[in-house]
Amino acid sequence: MTILFNLSYNTVYGEEIMLNIISGDDASTVEKFKMATRDGNTWTCTVNSLAKPGATLNYYYSVVKNGIETRREWLVEPHQLVMTSVKGINYNVHDNWIDIPEDSYLYSSAVTDCVAARKKGTLKPVDYSKTLKIKVRAPQLRSNERLAVMGEIAELGKWEALKAYPMTEQQPNEWVADIDATNITAEAFDLKFVVLDEKKDYTPMWENNNNRRIVMPKMKNGDVVAIEMGIALFSIYPWKAAGCVIPVFSLRSEGSFGVGDFGDLKMMIDWVAKTGQRVLQILPINDTNITHTWTDSYPYNSISIYALHPQYADLRQLPELKDKARREHYAALQKELNALPQIDYERVNNAKMEYLREIFAQEEAALTKKADFKSFFANNKEWLVPYAAFCYYRDLYGTATFSEWPDHHTLPDKEREAMSKPSTALYKKVAFWYFVQYVLDKQMRAAHDHARKNRVILKGDIPIGISRDGVEAWVEPRYFNLNGQAGAPPDAFSVNGQNWGFPTYNWDEMINDGCSWWVRRFTKMAEYFDAYRIDHVLGFFRIWEIPINAVHGLLGQFSPSLGMTAQEIESYGLHFNEDLYTRPFITDWTLDRMFGERAGEVKEKYLDRLDGERYQMKPEYDTQRKVEQAFKGVSEEKEIWLRDSLYAMISDVLFLRDRKDEKKFHPRIGVQHDFIYESLHDSDKYLFNRLYNDYFYRRNNQFWYYEAMKKLPRLTEATRMLVCAEDLGMVPDCVPWVMNQLRILSLEIQSMPKDDKVRFGHLSRNPYRSVCTISTHDMSTLRQWWDEDYAQTQDYYNSMLHRGGAAPHPLPGWLAKEIVSRHLTSPSMLCLLSLQDWLSIDEKLRLPDADAERINIPANPRHYWRYRMHMTIEQLMAADNLNDTIKELVAQSGRK
């Protein structure tokens, strides 16, 4: 079989086009063919193939210059050629270059497998002597619609829509028609695509452009001409949807065990579908068990990027315990824990783990024989075995900090192999963890399938970091910088910045192997979700890296970033005194201002004289971590104040030395509030501020753009999930450049506008490719926010809601409904509201204490994540007035 590939692409001098035929399940394994051209515009390549009729060929084109790939097509949905012709021996294929489309979201599984899921057809073999294969992409079609092609020739119905030639969807949104060209005598003919519906009384919808025209080449028997035509567009309103955001742990049903579980998730999906919503967004669901205490409740500090948290196991779906006394024990405990207003993390997790161990002991013999367990283990053992080993040694040695283990600072290959064989003693020691993950995987997949059947998009959350006391840091340390801490610079959430404690990524190592670590992570997530939120997407441009000896985020610097030499600093007119500007600025007057009557105590205990004017910290207190250790266990308020003041004193520097090059420097973030800045002359303050603004808002923009483009395109193309991002905080200009280029949905919050010229965002200006919300898990809920700052609320009431008079407090339900309605009618593709904000519209149902609805306080790194909805999902399903109101609001906004 001979295949002639044709592509129109305008190249510049030195560029070549490569044909890449994909030989595996993804685009990582390809066979490359160099194409030829005479004019730099029309490129051709002939491939002799051993493929048989019925075979499928997936391929893409790329641009190469000097042997380096400089550009390639969109890989989420590459070209596909199905060899349907039984008699075809010569294929003549005409393709168009495929860039990432503006409406790429319509190709995501969120649309194609959920809200617009259609029954996929199968291309049937044809035995025509001559075959014309027409291909076209039509992404706007809804679940009940199909595509056909009609035209002026008899084979295409002679312009009668009801006689149009039916097409088959061979891959999402790509339709194909195999037409018998044996009797086509016309040298050229016009055609058009038309949308048909399964309903009998449906009026056919014609595409919105002039007639298309095909010029027929000369064909002989055995020829197949495949023509890929430009996208078909129709008068269909852009899709928009509403949804709900709630962590799985916050769910409550009558049968859950003190915490939300994957069974509750299925019930919550039912509520979302019932109210006309189409998206259910949850927080990360990975295992976070490090200490087995409530501090593990933080869902963004997972010990594995693959393993699911055991607390989410729905015990109702497991076999019944045979021991009657134990059954009764757990039944009583379930009622007790489920009645608590908040989650008791330690009691709940201890009880669930105990139950799982008893079930495992009861069912182990039968389990290992199950085909689906064997399949699960085989498909996941690359991460499952290290995870199980980590959990075993964590519990054996009493700590997850693997550097403190007496041995097993890594996982030997022999142990890994032994843990994979059921006949070994090591396997038996870790098999319990295989069982737990098997149960969780099965239940989460069932929830995902349930969501798809109800046309609900299940949206997950990918944390930016991993735990330094976790599996990945243990077995793949080359991917991480364990001597740094990831966090965020000061913002509305925290004046000292945030220190998440995660190690930062070694991006050079990750990029060297094609970001395979991230691709594996995203691929696993796609087994459970059809959309995802990239937590802190700014971290893919640059991460706020804090030294390991710091507690707060103020001593961080962006990594990577372009540090400044002393000469560059002085080019702004600012004399650079390295010793003065890089040491903590501690003088008698700053001590008096900061500590008052305790200044003498601080000088004597914590400081040494540096020179006639300045002091320096004693060596035993010269970092924030040393101070933290000195105050360990202290709880008196005045001593906590002293500790925090010492932290602030240590961070009082004008410049920070670059982590990699000691001859380069970075201005310290937010230093304008500190004493060293106050000590500057007004002229130097002006010069420093100019340097500061250039550094943080302009200097690194192009550099960070290229950094992000090394990583994000590979990740967004790794799966067909809908890509959304949390792009809040100190956002450089290059972030929207990249997000627009890759068609990533932004996050829009009216109370946190990205336009610094306005106090509140204008909802009507939200970009279509965005997620609109009122609050996130890191923020006050709508009701809390309304009562936090009366002056701010009054301004919002008058300027945004266009109402006169005094704003009512607390927030009445009717006004909450108006705010929700305004958000729903915004142009944003998705409007996703927290359950708390949905409930705010019903004064009878919402929780009386608005402050009890807060999920997280970012300024507190040891916050206890224990919020749980105050009513059961069964009660929520029966709340007809609320549900009817939500359904009406969603319908009125045009979201469906």
Q: List pLDDT tens digits, range 716-767.
A: 999 999 999 999 988 999 999 999 999 999 999 999 999 989 999 999 999 9
Chain-centre distance for alpha carbon 494: 23
Q: Taking residues 497-519, what's their average pLDDT? A: 93
Residue 342 is given by DSSP the state S
Structure tokens at 69: 């790939």
Per-residue pLDDT tens over the stretch 649-660: 999 999 999 999
**In one letter, which amino acid is 505?**
Y
**CA 491 to each of CA 553, 704, 777: distance values in angstroms, whole numbers, following the listed order:** 11, 20, 16
Distance (Å, whole) CA 796 – CA 775: 15
Compute the mean pLDDT over every residue in the chain, rounded to the nearest whole number.
95
Distance (Å, whole) CA 386 – CA 411: 7
Residue 359 confidence (pLDDT):
97
Helix, strand or coil, per DSSP, at residue 511: helix
Structure tokens at 96: 């168009």
Residue 153 confidence (pLDDT):
96
Q: Taking residues 686-700, what's their average pLDDT? A: 96
When computed from its CA atoms, the radius of gyration of the chain, rounded to whole angstroms, is 31
Structure tokens at 774: 């009122």
Helix, strand or coil, per DSSP, at residue 213: strand
Distance (Å, whole) CA 686 – CA 574: 9
Percent of all residues in the chain with a pLDDT value above 70, rounded to a whole number: 100
The angle, 0 to 180 degrees and rounded to 10, between the axes of the packed helices 637-650 and 599-606 is: 60
Per-residue pLDDT tens over the stretch 262-286: 999 999 999 999 999 999 999 999 9
Q: Which residues pair with 749 in a beta bridge?
A: 773
Per-residue pLDDT tens over the stretch 631-678: 999 989 999 999 999 999 999 999 999 999 999 999 999 999 999 999
Distance (Å, whole) CA 492 – CA 759: 13
Helix, strand or coil, per DSSP, at residue 770: strand
The model's confidence at residue 860, banded by pLDDT at 50, 70 and 90, is confident
Residue 120 confidence (pLDDT):
82
Structure tokens at 380: 């996941």
The model's confidence at residue 698, banded by pLDDT at 50, 70 and 90, is very high
Residue 108 has pLDDT above 90, yes or no: yes
Per-residue pLDDT tens over the stretch 550-573: 999 999 999 999 999 999 999 999
Task: Give residue for tokens 């793949």.
Answer: 476
Structure tokens at 278: 């189409």
- Burial category of 581 from C-beta neighbours within 10 Å (exposed 0-12, middle 13-18, buried 19 and up): buried
Distance (Å, whole) CA 187 – CA 386: 64
Residue 49 confidence (pLDDT):
87
First to last CA, the chain: 47
Distance (Å, whole) CA 839 – CA 833: 10
Residue 862 confidence (pLDDT):
86
The model's confidence at residue 161, banded by pLDDT at 50, 70 and 90, is confident
Q: Which residues pair with 609 in a beta bridge?
A: 615
For 858, other C-beta atoms within 10 Å of its C-beta total 17
Sign of CA dihedral 707, 710, 712, 715: negative
The least confident of 160-169, 219-228, 238-247, 833-842 is 160-169
Produce one character per residue of 253-266: b if its CB has 16 or more CB atoms within 10 Å, e if not.
bebbbbbbbbbbbb
**In one letter, which amino acid is 292?**
H
Whether the CB-CB separation of 469 and 303 falls below 8 Å is answered with: yes
3-state SS record for 117-154: CCCCCCCCCECCCCEEEEEEECCCCCCCEEEEEEECCH
The more confident residue out of 208 and 830 is: 830
Compute, in degrees rounded to 10, the torsion defined by CA atoms 565, 567, 569, 572.
Answer: -150
- DSSP per-residue string spanning 44-83: EEEEE--PPTT-EEEEEEEEEETTEEEEE---SS-EEEE-
Distance (Å, whole) CA 539 – CA 459: 20
Q: Which residues pair with 188 in a beta bridge?
A: 215
Task: Give residue for tokens 């106090």.
Answer: 759
Percent of all residues in the chain with a pLDDT value above 90, rounded to a whole number: 94
Q: Taking residues 339-364, what's their average pLDDT? A: 97
The angle, 0 to 180 degrees and rounded to 10, between the axes of the packed helices 588-595 and 599-606 is: 120
Q: Taking residues 40-45, what's their average pLDDT? A: 96
Distance (Å, whole) CA 440 – CA 443: 5
Q: Which residues pair with 136 in a beta bridge?
A: 175
Task: Give residue for tokens 């515009």.
Answer: 41
Structure tokens at 876: 């929520």
Q: Where in 605-750 does DSSP place strands (E)?
A: 607-609, 615-617, 655-657, 664-667, 722-725, 746-749
Q: Where in 436-529 does DSSP place strands (E)?
A: 457-462, 480-481, 484-488, 498-499, 504-505
**In one letter, which amino acid is 828?**
S
